[in-house]
Structure 1
Amino acid sequence: MKKVGEISDYIAHIRQSDGKIQSVHEHLIGVKGLAARFGSKIEVEHIAGLAGLLHDLGKYSEGFRSYILEAVGNPDHPPKKGSVDHSTAGGKLLYDEFHLNNHSVPERMIAEMVGNVIISHHMGLQDFLTSDMESDYLKRVREKRIEDFLEVKKAFYQTSVSKEDLKDYISKSENEFVAFLKQNITGSRMDKLQLTLMFLTKYIFSCLIDADRTDTRCFEEGTFPCVTTESRKLFEGYYKKLTEYLNKINEDGHSKTAINILREKMSKECDDFAQYPSGIYTLSIPTGGGKTLASLRYALKHAIKHKKDRIIYVVPYTTIIEQNAEDVKRILNDHENIIEHHSNVIEHDDYDNNRYGRDKALKLAKDNWDAPIIFTTMVQFLNTFYSSGTRNVRRLHNLSHAVIVFDEVQSVPIKCISLFNEALNFLKNVCHSSILLCTATQPALDFVEKSIDSIDGEIIQDLDQVVDAFKRVEIIDKTSNHGWNTEDLSRFVFEQVNDLSNVLVILNTKTVVRKLFNQLKENNPDLLIYHLSTSMCAAHRKDILSDVREALDKGERVVCLSTQLIEAGVDVSFNCVVRSLAGLDSIAQAAGRCNRHGEHAIRNVYIINHNEENLDYLKTIKIGAGITHKILLDRKSGHGINDILSPKALELYFQNYYHELKSELDYHVPALKNTLYELLNSNEIYKCGYKHKTGKPFPLLLHTSIKTAAKYFNVIDNNTTSLLVPYKEGADIIAEFNEDLSIQDFSVLLKQSQQYTVNIYERELNELSKNNNIVYLRDGKILVLRENAYDLDFGVNIEGDGKMETHFI
């Protein structure tokens, strides 16, 4: 490589530390190789490699060479970001030479798909057809003028690949594409051609983004792209450790209770089932049945037998990540290869990897799920498929050849059901991944219109008998005509504590939880009262749960108050649970926190209706509560299902729930008068609109509105922003973000900081900003909360008068 001042080649990057140059040719060939390797996992090696080969074609220009030299030579006043367009040229070359002049349908589709990937690799995929009946893609590849385009092509053909070699490469891509269509567009999926090709486009995009950033990061660090840790050997070691751990538990004489014997039987069923081919399976172990370790046993054995690259656990709440990941790390004795991905500390990726300065690390930090075992959230999983920009989609190709375990799968947001099902179909049919849908309350995902193609089996045999054997609670309907207020509930909780020593109360809104907390504190100052909230960072909630468990183990009088975040997967057991009326799945999950290990014969779970809860903005909870109330009334009348926690009752509930919300399953967007599912599939409304507007049929074979769909996609209804909070070690992490960091150190710090982030709504962010309680680091990319706006009882304190017993900054 050359140093600045000895330049005789076109420049892709200039290393910040020593001024060494990476030529465009070196970068294109490097990215091509990595992208092809990622694409080969689903037999599209040449299609992905094509994107890598052409993505920075526009850097073969004098304009870009002048731009990059000026950026390095004048870092205090660099040229305007994006002033030289280097990402359009590759897409334009494909359009001009392989789309026009009656090329074959597969060649034209490849030109459109890969061309969109190339023009979008700094901003996120563009619309083939917009809501204005235009095309972002065509504006770039057909209409945008590139002054030195002929010189760019000439330099490329002379330096990197000849015209004949490119045609040969396209021909190989075409063969791959035809094979892909034959395998994946058949029968019932014929009407989902556009949707399937949208997923393939995103997969190729993922290959390019990860390859581009990996190659650039390795050049910056002076290293070579490392081959992923050999997962098979790790998995074999893990499986041996897990088996030894389980055998030790089962040999313990104290473990031979009826429930533990049943747990052992179900765990063995998971082990035996791992031999079957990859597919979509359900695992309906009752709450408290040892689901985490049983599913891990299946995942490890299946990954070994069927040569999977990684195991990914997807859970609804970060609370479960903290607990489950820690258990798995401890049992497998590995804290290095098992990672947790809670949220993006840096939410936006509108920074460019050609920007020179210390924050280049923001773009290149490794965050691609390239690890043997990953714990992440449903939000992160769905963002990987459907969100805007480039940061999230980078991970998508690493979902292939994986075992993906969805823990508490009933928590998929109602508006995302169809999109979730189609993502699973793609992972199974195209990506060769095996899917495990785990929950005690299976949500009947095959009941909806856009369903999972097929659920290939349930692992647990004799499920009805298993559920009966696991019965540990009685559901007591305490709802009343007038409902309960906070004062009534406070008295009732205190009565239960006096009788039973400990109580868990789960309510639907943070407001009433806080009000009950203050009421109980005021009336019972000596009582141990704990509060859990999504307003707390993961590390904070972990500490509170640890304190709660310790108090329970000591037999102290304890009350724990929480929203629904405690329901799914948190291993804690109370003598009594009080649950505010909600969906039957939530009530079943709440019941799983009562008498969890069968310590007593039967304990009570009380259902109340809190009249101070405002559910007007919580539509799905409100509808779920209404359906549950009807099931409770039917039971009371003697005409309904007596055991409302039975599989039959839950199936009835979900069928009614999905029917009630049928119009929302496809992610309806009122502002567009359309659904995201429609935008990503047939998109007939926009196609007809284009023909009406222009008098001509739409000229492209692909017509999905990927950018528009991403713009409106949010797993959570309200946009949230991640805040780094000064809880304990969070303060040290905040201080480190102020320092100059290498890309590697920055990557490590990003992972550490996930334990100390809180997602807040836009209204809360505005209020905190107005009161000067937000600090902006790294050019505003990282948001930090001031100490006075964090509270040890409640977490983020909007008013800015939080109480911290210990100074953490």
Structure 2
Amino acid sequence: MYKAHKNEITGEIQSVKEHSINTANLCREFAVPVLKDMLYNLGLLHDVGKYQISFQKRINGSNIRVEHSTSGAKVVKEKYSNGVALMMEYCIIGHHSGIPDAGTISDTPDMTTLYGRIKRQCENYDDYKKELEILPMDNNDIIRYLSCDCKNKFELIDKYAFFTRYCFSCLTDADSLDTAKFCRGPENRSLHTNFYKCLDQINKSFTGFVCNTELQKARSKIQGQVYKKVGHDAGIYLMNMPTGSGKTLCSAKFALEEAIIKKKKRIIYVIPYNSIIEQTAEVFESVFGENAEILRHQSTFSYEDKDGYSEDYRITIKNATENWDAQIIVTTAVQFFESIYANKRGKLRKLHNMADSVLVFDEVHLMPIDFLQPCLEAIVYITSYLNSEAVFLTATMPDFEKLIKKYTLRGSKIENLVEDTSLFYLFDKCNYKDLGYLSDEKLITISLESVSSLIVVNKKKTARRLYELCRGKKFHLSTYMTAFDRMKTIASIKNELQNLEKNFPNMKNVPENSRVTVISTSLIEAGVDLDFCAVFRELSGLDNILQTGGRCNREGKLKNATTYIFQLESEKNKISNDIRANITKGLIKKYENISCADCIREYYDMLFFSQEDRITNMAMYQECTDILSIPFQSYANKFELIDSKTVSIVVERNRTSSDLIKELEDTGKTDVRKLQMYTCTIYQQEFDDLLTQHMINDFGSGIWCLMNSDYYDIETGILFEGKDCFI
């Protein structure tokens, strides 16, 4: 018997034949219909290299290194000769190390490219023919499927690359699941959600809402437009709803009804910021209760840190996080898109489980321009070919129908869920006024005239500088602070605002030392449910300004409230390369009300349709000339939605963080997910400054930790020179 795996606990052996057939059957189960036979064969052949005598010696205890993934790719190359064979070669040869770059046909065996590795010599593995029965498959049918809807070679390259990663996802998840089942025994239970009961709970929550005021009636009518279109036949739905109209629960109800009617397996919420995830997940958990086991996949959340979870449940969560085998998932845009464009099995395992889903993209206008084409393209592929549908949710909707047809497949079915916008004006709870240039001191003085004010600036250093100038009850928020401290600060701000409303219900005659001022970077703009009497926003993109304006008079209790736009005199002579800000500056002069639909439309038209080079810069077709030369690994390394010019620094903030840092120092390893809560973000130049001062150390792990607590302030975050000491 040829051995594939040995259970180190029980001593049991799994044969290569058994593992290969199990993997093949799972691959077939995961695959879309036209690819089922190919995926079966992919699973069947992926471990052909384990029929080599050297591998059998290794599994029997010999201390030798054996490359087994090349053999299956060689079998495929011998049997098939077109793009289907190449796709299978990519998947098999990379099923442990990741999908490689294609390289060139002149590459030598010592190179790690596909063309290099396929030339490597392997021992005889022909005994696979005695045990594995390859299914016949229609190559031409698969080729037609891969090339359909593609009008040129560029679209073909992108679609071919997507489906190569999709097949790789099916293979690696099937391989991992069967191996885990044999080595660890039956898997723990799956996360379970009852869509019917969740829908019932959300309907009950809506029955508690009264519709007495004009605003409440408008909210109900806007939401009603959405519900009337449940069950329609579209791939992408546009849900343009103003701030305060109940977007989150409305989108959840729509997603649940779609999932039930169309028998979707899961609902995936994709959210731009970690801070929004906290709030969205808490809303869902509160409404759904025990009817939903929600998987939260984000960098700042660790199930290990939460009390009340059994060990069995923690293992279930860990497994679900690896391949998204859950029915409701709340994740970040970074996790979602970087998983699709990765080349490693650790991330790509999720891709095939994005099929048969309702994908909800919250604050979709924040999709980064430099990655817009591949992000939109991925959504179109998943909704067009994997039986999923997407909901685009925002209060400031770009013309996505036009963008999708320009930068992706032209046949996408797109439907607008809210066509009548005549009641949107009722949700305008503040005016917008341009103050022009102000000194730091003047800005602070004006802000202190309000009972509660929010000042949002573009730079972290600016936020810190203004905070130091401010007096009274003041708060600071930026990514110089750890997520741990930001969450505590936001909780304190909410508490102070509630006390202010309680002690001064009319918001009159409030002494200066009782007024609340919050100075923040843009991280507060979306998903942080705070309400201020006045808001001040440094000139930026129109979407940023309107999002910040959503924190002004949020509950509509004030008759007159204003969001002020300003520029700082300290920045007056600096040339701005921010195209968003430059466009907005012109629109402020043109429109009396910058929150009107015409202004928003013109802003996005100028932003997206004048920057085609930036939008398409990260398209896969820019990296190669045809499907024979796709650089999967190199592209994955470049596909980083978060600016790689920043560096994360771990800061000791409590006993848990102290223990994690100590473990890192002693062993060079620790639980990185738990550390995320205690990291702050700095720029490369700032990192170099701290390194020169010997204030950070990575203990050889690549995870940098702050070594001197004098270089961190709980109110303003990481410092770049120590605090003054007075003796």
Normalised-by-shorter TM-score class: 0.7 to 0.9
The alpha-carbon distance between structure 1 residues 236 and 554, as it changes in their structure 2 partners (threshold 3 A), is same
Question: For 1:140, which of 86, 94, 117 is the aligned residue?
Answer: 117
Counterpart check, 1:91 vs 2:13: no
Counterpart Cα distance in 2 of 1:618 and 1:662: 20
Asked if the contact 2:3–2:13 (Cα under 8 Å) also holds between the matched residues in 1, the reply is yes
Secondary structure, counterpart of 2:245 in structure 1: coil
1:434 matched to which residue of 2? 389
Match for residue 285 of structure 1? 241
- Alpha-carbon deviation of 1:716? 2.6
Deviation of 1:384 after TM superposition, in Å, equals 1.4
CA distance in 2, matches of 1:88, 1:423: 29
Q: Which amino acid aligns with 1:209?
A: T
Amino acid of the residue matched to residue 127 of structure 1? D
- Tell me which of 250, 253, 273 is aligned to 1:294: 250
CA distance in 2, matches of 1:15, 1:768: 48
Matched, 1:49 2:7: no
1:515 and 2:436 aligned: no
Matching of residue 656 in structure 1 with residue 606 in structure 2: yes
Q: What is the SS of the residue equivalent to 1:476?
A: strand
Distance in 1 between residues matched to 2:723 and 2:292, nearest whole Å: 38
Q: 2:145 aligns to what? A: 180
Greater mean alpha carbon deviation, residues 279-288 or residues 729-738: 729-738
Which runs of 5 or more residues in structure 1 are unaligned? 1-8, 72-77, 100-107, 347-360, 635-640, 668-674, 688-700, 741-745, 804-809
- Contact 2:300–2:483 under 8 Å retained in 1: no
Counterpart CA distance in 1 for 2:319 and 2:202 is 35
Aligned position for 1:200: 163
Q: CA deviation at 1:653?
A: 0.7
Q: Distance in 2 between matches of 1:615 and 1:281?
A: 44
Amino acid at match of 2:418: I
Partner of 2:203: 243
Q: State the Cα distance separating 1:204 from its structure 2 match.
A: 0.7
Cα 1:644/1:799, change in 2 over 3 Å:
same
**Residues 647-694 of structure 1, C-alpha deviation per residue, up to 9 Å, x if partnerless?**
211110111112442321112xxxxxxx544236xx33xx6xxxxxxx
What pairs with 1:431-470 in structure 2 (closer than 5 Å)? 431-448=386-403, 449-451=406-408, 453=410, 454=412, 456-463=414-421, 465-470=422-427
- How far apart in 1 are the matches of 2:533 and 2:301? 38
The question of whether the paired residues in 1 share the 8 Å contact of 2:24 and 2:41 is answered with yes
SS across alignment from 1:392 = helix
* Displacement of 1:240: 0.7
**Distance across 1 between alignment mates of 2:573 and 2:478:** 18
State the 1:214 CA deviation. 2.4
Find the aligned partners of 1:387 and 1:54 in 2 and give their Cα distance.
23
Partner of 1:387: 342
Residues 195, 260 of structure 2: 8 Å contact kept = yes
- Name the residue aligned to 2:433: 476
Query: Structure 1's 90 and 236: CA in aligned 2 closer, same or farther, altered over 3 A?
Result: same
Deviation at 1:316, TM superposition (A): 1.4
The one-character-per-residue Cα deviations of 1:740-776 (angstroms, maximum 9, x if unpaired) are 9xxxxx9xx7766655555555555555566666666
Aligned equivalents of 2:219 and 2:678: distance in 1? 34
- Change beyond 3 A, Cα 1:210–1:758: farther
> What are the Cα deviations for residues 162-187 of structure 1, in whole angstroms up to 9, with x where unaligned?
xxx31xx1x23637625634xx7137
Distance 1:733 1:235, change over 3 A: farther
Distance of 2:293 and 2:152 partners within structure 1: 38
Report the residue type matching 1:528 in the other structure.
Answer: K
Q: What is aligned with 2:174?
A: 211
Relative to 1, partners in 2 of residues 1:216 and 1:533: Cα closer, same or farther, differing over 3 Å? farther
- Which letter maps to 1:704? I
- Aligned pair partner of 1:563 in 498, 506, 521: 521
Per the TM alignment, residue 284 of structure 1 is displaced from its structure 2 partner at its CA by 0.8
- Residue identity matched to 2:487: K
Whole-Å Cα distance in 2 between the matches of residues 536 and 720 of structure 1? 14
> TM-score with structure 2 length normalisation?
0.86
| Matched residue SS, 1:322 | helix
Q: How does 1:304-319 map to 2 (within 5 A)?
A: 304-319=260-275
Residues 336 and 345 of structure 1: CA distance in aligned 2, closer, same or farther (over 3 Å) = same
Q: Is residue 122 from structure 1 mapped to residue 122 from structure 2 by the alignment?
A: no
User: Which residue matches 1:15?
Assistant: 7
Paired residue for 2:53, among 27, 46, 62?
62
The structure-2 alpha-carbon separation of the partners of 1:270 and 1:719, relative to structure 1 and needing over 3 Å to count, comes to same
> Aligned equivalents of 1:22 and 1:719: distance in 2?
46
| CA drift at 1:243 | 0.8
- Asked if the contact 1:341/1:754 (under 8 Å) is kept, the reply is no
- Residue 498 of structure 2 is matched in structure 1 by 553
8 Å CA contact 2:149–2:409 kept in 1: the answer is no
Paired positions, count: 689
For 2:328, which of 361, 373, 382 is the aligned residue?
373
Aligned to 2:23: 31
Closer/same/farther in 2, CA of residues 229 and 378 from structure 1, 3 Å limit: closer
Aligned-partner Cα distance in 2 for 1:338–1:197: 33
Residue by residue, what CA displacement relative to the aligned partner does 1:94-135 show, whole Å, maximum 9, x if unpaired?
A: 002222xxxxxxxx2221101101111223222335699999
Q: Give 2:445's aligned amino acid.
A: R
Q: Which moved more, 1:366-375 or 1:642-651?
A: 366-375
Contact 1:583 1:625 in 2 (8 A): yes
Q: Distance in 2 between matches of 1:645 and 1:444?
A: 16
Q: Give the equivalent residue in structure 1 for 2:504.
A: none
State the 1:91 CA deviation.
0.8
Aligned AA (1:780): S
Q: Is the contact made by 1:241 and 1:331 (CA closer than 8 Å) also made in structure 2?
A: yes
- Asked if the contact 1:267/1:297 (under 8 Å) is kept, the reply is no
Structure 1 counterpart of 2:52, one-letter code: S
CA pair 781-21 structure 1, distance change in 2 beyond 3 A: farther
- Structure 1 residue 300 displacement after superposition: 0.8
Q: Map 1:302-341 onto structure 2 (within 5 A).
A: 302-334=258-290, 337-341=293-297
- 3-state SS of paired residue (1:529): strand
> What one-letter code is carried by the residue in structure 2 that aligns with 1:368?
N
Which position in structure 2 is the counterpart of 1:807?
none
